[in-house]
Structure formats: C-alpha cells, structure tokens
Amino acid sequence: MRAWHISSFGIDSLDFVERPTPEPGPGEVLVKVRAVSFNYRDLLMVKGIYNPKLRLPRIPCSDGAGEVVAVGDGVTAFKPRDRVAGIFMQNWLDGPLTPAKARGALGGDIDGMLAERVVLKASGLVAIPEHLSFEEAATLPCAAVTAWNALAAGNLKPGATVLIQGTGGVSIFALQLARLRGARVLGISGNNDKLNRAYSLGLDAGLNYRDNPEWDQWALEETAGEGVDLVVEVGGLGTMARSLKALRMGGVIAQIGVLSGPADPLPLPYILHKQARIQGIYVGSRQDFEDLNKAVSLALLRPVGENFNWSQARDALRRMEEASHFGKLVLTVA
Ligand SMILES: NC(=O)c1ccc[n+]([C@@H]2O[C@H](COP(=O)([O-])OP(=O)(O)OC[C@H]3O[C@@H](n4cnc5c(N)ncnc54)[C@H](OP(=O)(O)O)[C@@H]3O)[C@@H](O)[C@H]2O)c1
C-alpha cells in the first residue's frame, strides 16, 4: 500500500512511499482509508514544531474515514464494508482525560491516517453518519469533536452569544454547532470573502480583524456592553487578552489554539473581576465523538471544506500554512 510519511521535518520532505499492507490482529480492524483531513496540528507535526523529538518516519494525520476491509479475532462491533472514522486519542474512550488515555494520538504517538490502509483497535473507531461522504466524515475526528466540547464547556442557554476566531476547521464547526444550539455567533476573520462565506452558514455578525484590530470593543458593542458568553479561543497568546475583554461576567473561554504569538500582556484582573472561566479543550473522547455524530445526523449537518487528490498532500499543507482556506482541507485517498 502507499502512504505519506514524514522522513525528515518540512513540507517538502513529506514522502510518498510504499509500505507493507498491515494485517489486523485480535481486537483490531483493517480499514481502507477513503479520505483524510488536515488539522493545524498536522502542519506543526510535519514541520517538526509540534514535537521536535517525534520518532521518524511517522505517517501523519489524526483524521480519516474509510471502510472496514477485515476484522481480527474477537471483533464484533464492526464488519466488512462498515463506514468508520478513527478517534483522535486511541485510548480515550470516555470519562475524564488521564495521562494514560492521552497516549496513543493518531499521527503523533502512533502512525496516523495518511495511508491507503490502517489497522486500528476496534475501540479506536466510530461509525460515521450515514448522510456524509467519506470526505465529509474525515473532517470530524479532531476539529468537530473539539468544537463540540468547546460549546459544551460554554453551557450555553438559547440566545447566548459565542465568539469565533478565524474561519478554519475548528471555528467553522463551532459556528455550525453553535447555531444548532440556538446561539448567536459573532466572528472575526482576516478576510472579507471568508466572512461572507461564514454569513451563508449562519454567522450573525462579522468583523475583519486586520482592518479593525480592536475586535474586543466591537464584541462588547454587539452585546450591548455585556460581553459574549463563550469565546472559542483558537488564536492563543495573541488573542487571549482581547478575548478576556470581550467576555461577559461569568463567561467562558474555551482555550483551544496556538495560532498566534504573544501580543498584549495578559490582563489578569479581567479573569477575577469577570469571574471568567478558562477551560482547556483537548479534542475529546470516543463518547464525545459519538455524541457529536448523533447531533450531526439529526441535523443533517454538512461539514465545509476544500478537496485535494491523493497526490496533493504537500499542496494541502501549504494551503493551510498560508491560511487561505475556509473550513477543512480534505484529501481523497484514491
Ligand atoms: N486543543 C485542541 O484539542 C485542538 C484541536 C484542534 C485544533 N487546535 C488548535 O486550534 C487552532 C486552529 O486549528 P484549525 O485546525 O482549525 O486551524 P486552521 O484550519 O488552519 O485555521 C486557522 C485559521 O485561523 C485564522 N487565524 C490565524 N491567525 C489568527 C489570529 N491571530 N487571530 C484570529 N484568527 C486567526 C485564519 O482564518 P481567517 O483567514 O479567517 O482569519 C486561519 O485560516 C490551531 O492552533 C490548532 O493547533 C487545538
């Protein structure tokens, strides 16, 4: 079978290689991968920034969907032709995260999904929603589960206001899922065309953060001075100060991303004066993925992304690096 693997760090060093087709052992499932999606983490992994000590060669990517080809002894949950996706942390099935459950992340601790065939433990798979193509389902395991848990952390009442940052994978899922929960969504982006696309998905109000860097003030104005109930924080150090200023009293910041470097010093008093809650989010468990899939199926939600073919892994990563994409970047595995 063919796979992309990181032989040394850098997008140009991602190699297309021939590897032995793996065989499923007891409790394992052989999956024919049909589509893979990229996350910002995969870009950092390929460039050697996420984990400079990553053991190489390593097949990258946490997110893929495909069909079951064969199952090993003792597997009853899946059978050939079932449509499945891998879960991000192969050992986090449910309950709170522990150090043991955090080991086994696809495309990091162990080989990932950017291959024609993968063998995973049956417990490391979920069935994918029926209405989705493989390309659509491949977008779910990291970005959508993360957005799902960010919104859960907000404990939102209908009519609550959510602020999203940028228009990448996590943020567009947060927009779609927040709308399902009856929330009002404010969004900032560095690109007006992307804001227009976000309006078509239900964004209530948007602002270009390049033209208007004081987006915290804008968020306060949009909420009659109260502030937003939840910030889906993907910017990191460069956005956290303004996120705190944009938050209402008792609001929640779901801390997810690391897209930007340090900017303003952290305004610590805002955390206490506003009784802000900052909740770290690290994707989620298999149970979270299954809960998300129920909502996606009931709402017939359709992920949004751009497609590349199997030979274009480097092009998709470059697209992510220049941040010219909207929603998800997906490869069809031919
Ligand atoms: N903690 C977790 O479990 C978890 C899970 C998934 C992702 N993440 C992290 O979350 C972040 C987003 O991941 P992703 O896969 O959704 O990324 P992505 O698809 O590459 O999206 C990035 C987008 O964010 C926007 N952006 C970039 N710099 C920004 C800034 N300084 N302020 C506001 N927006 C900015 C840009 O959109 P515009 O052009 O529209 O501005 C860019 O296209 C990454 O840091 C990733 O590592 C963490």
> Residue 167 sits in a domain of what CATH number?
3.40.50.720
Residues 72, 99 within the same domain: yes
> What pLDDT shows up at residue 297?
98
- Residue 175 Cα to ligand 1 midpoint, Å, equals 13
- The answer to whether the beta carbons of residues 50 and 38 sit under 8 Å apart is no
Reply yes or no on whether the pLDDT at 262 is more than 90: no
Average confidence (pLDDT) over 306-321: 97
CA of 238, closest atom in ligand 1? 31
Q: In angstroms, rounded to a whole number, what is the distance separating the alpha carbons of residues 296 and 305?
A: 16
Reply yes or no on whether the pLDDT at 275 is more than 90: yes
The conformational region for residue 180 under phi > 0 = left, psi -120 to 50 = alpha, else beta, is alpha
Tell me the DSSP string of 93-133. Answer: -SSS--HHHHS-BBTTTB--S-BSEEEEEGGGEEEPPTTS-
Residues 80, 152 within the same domain: no
pTM confidence score: 0.98
Q: The domain that contains 323 carries what CATH number?
A: 3.90.180.10
Nearest to 32 by CA among 116, 139, 158: 116
Is 321 inside any structural domain?
yes
Nearest to 171 by CA among 191, 185, 158: 185
Give all strands (DSSP E) within the chain, no chain letters: 2-6, 14-18, 28-38, 63-71, 83-86, 117-121, 125-127, 161-165, 184-189, 205-208, 228-233, 247-255, 277-280, 305-309, 328-332
Residues 275, 308 within the same domain: no
Last residue of a domain, one of 242, 265, 280: 280
Q: At 41, is the pLDDT very low, low, confident or very high (cuts 50, 70, 90)?
A: very high
Q: At 89, is the pLDDT very low, low, confident or very high (cuts 50, 70, 90)?
A: very high
Nearest to 331 by CA among 38, 47, 39, 106: 38
Is 298 inside any structural domain?
no
- The answer to whether the beta carbons of residues 253 and 266 sit under 8 Å apart is no
Residues 11, 106 within the same domain: yes
- The answer to whether the beta carbons of residues 82 and 299 sit under 8 Å apart is no
Mutate to test the pocket of ligand 1, among 259, 282, 326, 329 (most ligand atoms within 8 A of CB): 259
Helix (H, G, I), strand (E, B) or coil at 280: strand
* Element at 314 (helix H, strand E): helix 313-321
Is 126 inside any structural domain?
yes
Reply yes or no on whether the pLDDT at 263 is more than 90: no
Q: Extract the tokens encoding 168.
A: 């990448």
- In percent, how much of the chain has pLDDT > 90? 97
Q: At 42, is the pLDDT very low, low, confident or very high (cuts 50, 70, 90)?
A: very high
CA of 170, closest atom in ligand 1? 16
What pairs with residue 64 in β-bridges? 36
Query: In the structure, which protein residues have their CB atom closer than 6 angstroms to any atom of ligand 1?
Result: 39-41, 142-143, 146, 165-171, 189-191, 194, 209, 234-235, 238-239, 256-260, 281-283, 320, 323
Name the CA radius of gyration of the chain, rounded: 20
> What pLDDT shows up at residue 159?
94
Length of the chain: 334
> What pLDDT shows up at residue 261?
82
**Per-residue DSSP letter, 256:** -
Residues 66, 160 within the same domain: no
Q: In angstroms, rounded to a whole number, what is the distance separating the alpha carbons of residues 161 and 141?
A: 25
Reply yes or no on whether the pLDDT at 26 is more than 90: yes
> What pLDDT shows up at residue 180?
95
> What pLDDT shows up at residue 334?
86
Residues 106, 182 within the same domain: no
Q: Extract the tokens encoding 303.
A: 């992920």
> What pLDDT shows up at residue 152?
97
Reply yes or no on whether the pLDDT at 160 is more than 90: yes
Q: In angstroms, rounded to a whole number, what is the distance separating the alpha carbons of residues 122 and 174?
A: 28
Is 118 inside any structural domain?
yes
As for how many domains the chain has, the answer is 2
> What pLDDT shows up at residue 138?
98
Q: In angstroms, rounded to a whole number, what is the distance separating the alpha carbons of residues 188 and 165?
A: 5
Taking only the tens place, the pLDDT of each residue in 188-239 is: 999 999 999 999 999 999 999 999 999 999 999 999 999 999 999 999 999 9
Domain residues for the domain of 124 are: 2-139+303-332
- Residue 167 Cα to ligand 1 midpoint, Å, equals 8
> What pLDDT shows up at residue 113?
98
For residue 57, whether the previous peptide bond is cis, meaning omega lies within 30 degrees of 0, is yes
- Residue 165 Cα to ligand 1 midpoint, Å, equals 8
Residues 121, 100 within the same domain: yes
Taking only the tens place, the pLDDT of each residue in 117-155 is: 999 999 999 999 999 999 999 999 999 999 999 999 999
Q: Extract the tokens encoding 316.
A: 């998709």
Residues 169, 114 within the same domain: no
For atom 28 of ligand 1, the residue with the nearest CA is 259
Average confidence (pLDDT) over 61-88: 98
- The answer to whether the beta carbons of residues 120 and 105 sit under 8 Å apart is no
Is 285 inside any structural domain?
no
Least confident among 89-98, 144-153, 258-267: 258-267
Is 318 inside any structural domain?
yes
Is 261 inside any structural domain?
yes
Q: Extract the tokens encoding 134.
A: 């493989």
For atom 39 of ligand 1, the residue with the nearest CA is 190
Residues 11, 103 within the same domain: yes
Residues 262, 215 within the same domain: yes
- Residue 258 Cα to ligand 1 midpoint, Å, equals 7
Residues 71, 14 within the same domain: yes
Is 297 inside any structural domain?
no
Residues 16, 112 within the same domain: yes
> What pLDDT shows up at residue 303?
98
- Residue 168 Cα to ligand 1 midpoint, Å, equals 5
Q: In angstroms, rounded to a whole number, what is the distance separating the alpha carbons of residues 64 and 114?
A: 8
